[in-house]
């Protein structure tokens, strides 16, 4: 059964989340980012009012990650699901992954598939708000995803300790002291281990934390925060230079935490962005090497790096 056409079911609002975001947030803040000469670093869109889809999406995402697939955001799943809700979340997910590179493929490539080519959302791609350029992936994985479960995704609407919340990061549940890794070559800018016991403390915020500054090139710098870390597990200190894949600490449940998990948060220009969209799932050990074999013209290197919000 088909639902309303895309023009009536999805409203695009350009914006970026800064600090704590409330459910009433409707701010239009274009965040322009000058790209390096080698391609586009674009963070994927996110979905407002996503509570009805959260559990189904997390189940699909965890199955896909454990099966070795790369990352597909919820907005891409809903792009097709909202036209035909008889489709499987998981089938849509797999259809949107390139089998060779393990990256999410462009919307125009997906719409060439027989399954989708006659969908209304594929007939007018000029007005599509989906990503239609291949994205560079400058990060490696912050944790072994075969040992972790996504318990909260970027911008998920949820209830924590009885209070409504919109999560501006990723929560990756796993056992205590599971290794946490640097996602990039960078500089350790903060090592704050204030909690000596591995217990929940709702007044201690992120608990034990490590922060890294990742300079991708002269124009692009990301900040990566790892929180709720296990006491006395830090293997780095402030000022250290780290390489992608270096072990930083262990997973814990310190601070405002409901159980052992890694809080993985990425910022660009002070705004929270989808850190999962930057991970290269094709090779979890290799550092980012930009490719010059792309077809983007120079004007496209000025990227509208925004967290677009769909309202299903």
Confidence of residue 125 (pLDDT cuts 50, 70, 90): confident
pLDDT reported for residue 283: 59
Percent of the residues in the chain that have a pLDDT greater than 70, as a whole number? 76
pLDDT reported for residue 11: 30
Is the distance from CB of 43 to CB of 49 less than 8 angstroms? no
> Cα 228 to the chain's mean position, in Å?
19
| Residue of 312 and 196 predicted with greater confidence | 196
Of 198-212, 248-262, 270-284, the least confident: 270-284
Confidence of residue 135 (pLDDT cuts 50, 70, 90): confident
pLDDT reported for residue 307: 41
Rounded mean pLDDT, 125-143: 88
pLDDT reported for residue 45: 66
95-112 pLDDT, tens digit each: 999 988 999 999 999 999
CA angle, 118 as apex, 112 and 119 as ends, to 5°? 100
In whole numbers, what is the pLDDT of the chain averaged over residues? 80
Question: Whole-model pTM?
Answer: 0.77
Is a pLDDT exceeding 90 seen at residue 159? Answer: no
Confidence of residue 164 (pLDDT cuts 50, 70, 90): confident
Tokens representing residue 90 in the block: 């998981």
Of the ranges 21-30, 107-116, 302-311, the best mean pLDDT one: 107-116
| Residue of 45 and 275 predicted with greater confidence | 275
207 dihedral zone (left: phi>0; alpha: psi -120 to 50; beta): left
Q: What is the DSSP string of 75-139?
A: HHHHHHHTTBTTS-HHHHHHHTB-TTT-SBPPHHHHTTSTTTTTSHHHH-GGG--S--SPBP--B
> Cα 20 to the chain's mean position, in Å?
17
Of 133-147, 253-267, 291-305, the least confident: 291-305
Percent of the residues in the chain that have a pLDDT greater than 90, as a whole number? 63
Instruction: Return the residue matching tokens 């677009």.
Output: 308
Of 10-19, 84-93, 149-158, the least confident: 10-19
């Amino acid at each position: 059964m088909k639902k309303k056409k895309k023009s009536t079911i999805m409203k695009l609002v350009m914006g970026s989340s800064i600090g704590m975001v409330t459910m009433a947030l409707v701010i239009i803040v274009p965040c322009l980012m000058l790209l390096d000469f080698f391609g586009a670093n674009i963070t994927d869109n996110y979905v407002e009012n996503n509570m009805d889809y959260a559990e189904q999406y997390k189940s699909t995402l965890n199955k896909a990650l454990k099966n070795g697939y790369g990352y597909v955001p919820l907005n891409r799943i809903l792009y097709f699901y909202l036209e035909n809700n008889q489709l499987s979340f998981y089938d849509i997910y797999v259809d949107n992954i390139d089998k060779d590179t393990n990256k999410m493929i462009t919307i125009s490539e997906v719409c060439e598939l027989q399954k989708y080519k006659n969908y209304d959302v594929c007939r007018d791609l000029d007005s599509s708000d989906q990503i239609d350029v291949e994205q560079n992936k400058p990060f490696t994985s912050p944790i072994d995803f075969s040992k972790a479960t996504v318990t909260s995704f970027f911008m998920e609407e949820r209830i924590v300790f009885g209070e409504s919340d919109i999560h501006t990061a990723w929560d990756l549940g796993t056992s205590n002291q599971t290794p946490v890794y640097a996602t990039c070559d960078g500089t350790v800018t903060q090592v704050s281990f204030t909690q000596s016991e591995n217990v929940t403390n709702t007044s201690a915020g992120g608990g034990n934390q490590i922060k890294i500054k990742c300079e991708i090139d002269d124009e692009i710098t990301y900040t990566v925060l790892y929180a709720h870390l296990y006491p006395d597990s830090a293997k780095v200190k402030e000022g250290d230079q780290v390489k992608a894949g270096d072990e930083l600490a262990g997973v814990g449940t310190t601070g405002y935490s409901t159980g052992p998990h890694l809080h993985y948060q990425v910022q660009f220009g002070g705004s929270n962005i989808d850190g999962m969209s930057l991970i290269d799932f094709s090779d979890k050990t290799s550092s980012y090497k930009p490719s010059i074999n792309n077809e983007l013209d120079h004007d496209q290197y000025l990227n509208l790096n925004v967290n677009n919000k769909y309202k299903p």
